[in-house]
Amino acid sequence: MSVVVRPVQGRRDLREFVELPFRLHSTSQVWVPPLRLERRLFLSRRFNAFFKHGDAQLFLAERDGRVVGRISAQYDQHFNDFHDNRWGMFGFLELEDDPEVLPALLDAAAAWLRVRGMTEMLGPMDFGFFYNPAPAREGVDAGLNRGGFWDADPGGCTVVDNYRHRGPDVWYTCNHYDTTVTEPRIAAYIGIARGQIPPQEYFATWRTFPATCDWGWQKQQPVGENRTYLGVTVFEGAYQYAGEKFVPSWGGDMFEALMPALFVPEEQWGPRSWGRNHPAYVHGQIAFGLQEAGYGYWGFSPASNPTGGYNAYGAPPLGLAGPADGYPSDLQGTQWDKGFGDCRPAQPEPVWGDGVVTPHASFLALPFAPRAAIDNLAKLRRNFDVYGKGGFADSVAVKSGTVAHRYLALDQGMITAALAQHLHPGLLQRPFRTGGFRSRVRPMLGKECFSI
């Protein structure tokens, strides 16, 4: 008999929809099963807030009365209104090895979306669209990931291209993400795990910029040596602060340095790189807040400005960005400049102002300095009006006591994820320990040795 696709109706169908991947992957050594209850709640119109601004339909494919595939079709009205388009999406795609099942499922999803006025159906993300294969710089054959792209000309500096050569051209940002210790590396990990980005891209990013005077605008003169991985020569540069060597982030903040480690076990898979850098970085944040700046508190990362708006905060000694462009730690924008060898003289010791501390930074530090992180959070709660029904407020200026009484979804998400990771180690990392992450990302991280 031919394949029949029908919509999910009722509890029995929903159970079949949820159970299918458990049957398909029952002999897999790398598949990590989700919690059945969580999947049912996620798909519930009553419990999933998505259905307040979107709609979805689940489908089952059957042959001879036996379920052989599944798919979902959905659209997000808020997303479409914001972007002024009519896009639908498909997901939850699982099927037996049967050439007739996939087109039948896709046709059913597309038809459901078409009736509801959708003009495009988007599927799984391909991170390879971000990867510019042109050599990152002289002597490095690998490319880098662009900062993003638009599907229409936004004006300003753009590059028109299509790195996957599928569909129309897009307008890429002119910048690339070219440093290693920054939050977009999580996207590179995903693309590498999926085989959409070559692992050489990871090694093409800068640990620090070179130690020569033509790079003397960066925060301090690095130390290190060249090493080669997968044919890419890497300058394993490092900075020094508070008695530790470390690889800096762009702004000296915790978000760039530690957010990806919530999901990818970097410190375990890269014991000679991230396994050394994460604790050293946290040590630098603590030393800066308590000793250098004398704030009495630590934890610097982009957050709400307590006086209004948003700002990118960091610990200046931990950032690559030069003294004129680095992320400040206080409301006054005070910077730190110890010079660059013989290329740039050191400036006078700064006078630190009203330091801005954000609680999510302490939560990110939990795996690497748990006692210090908990003590810092307890002290913030004890001395400031920074904790309420929604948990910790987004930030506090510790000299004046001015609190940003706001809850940012990103920062609260990091707090929740860090707590889950602390209370149930490895829980959030389970999906990132399988498949391409295990076979591609893990050996890649294991090759490297930072100069620290």
What CATH class does 180-447 carry?
A: mainly alpha
pTM, to two decimals: 0.82
pLDDT confidence bin for 59, thresholds 50/70/90: very high
Question: For residues 123 and 394, what is the distance between their CA atoms, to the nearest angstrom?
Answer: 35
- Architecture per CATH, domain 4-122, reads as 3-Layer(aba) Sandwich (3.40)
pLDDT of residue 28: 78
| Residue boundaries of the structural domains of the chain | 4-122, 180-447
Give me the pLDDT at residue 9, please.
Answer: 95
**Whether pLDDT at 30 is above 70:** no
Q: What is the pLDDT of residues 83-117, one digit of tens each?
A: 899 999 999 999 998 889 999 999 999 999 999 99
Same fold, 4-122 and 180-447: no
Contact predicate 107/71, CB 8 Å: no
Please check the confidence at residue 35 and state whether its pLDDT lies above 90.
Answer: no
Which pLDDT does position 33 carry in this prediction? 82
- The conformation of residue 135, written as its DSSP 8-state character, comes to -
- In angstroms, the CA 181 to CA 207 distance is 7
Q: What is the mean pLDDT of residues 147-165?
A: 94
Closest CA to 7 of 90, 105, 102: 105
Q: 370-386 burial by CB neighbour count: b if 16+ within 10 A, else e? A: eebbeebbeebeeebeb
Mean pLDDT of 330-359: 96
CA distance linking residue 348 with residue 126, whole number of Å:
49
Contacts with 452 (C-beta within 8 Å, 6 or more apart), sequence order = 238, 244, 245, 246, 247, 276, 277, 280
pLDDT-derived band of residue 31, with 50, 70 and 90 as boundaries? confident
With DSSP H G I counted as helix, E B as strand and the rest as coil, what are the percentages for the chain, rounded to 5? 35, 20, 45
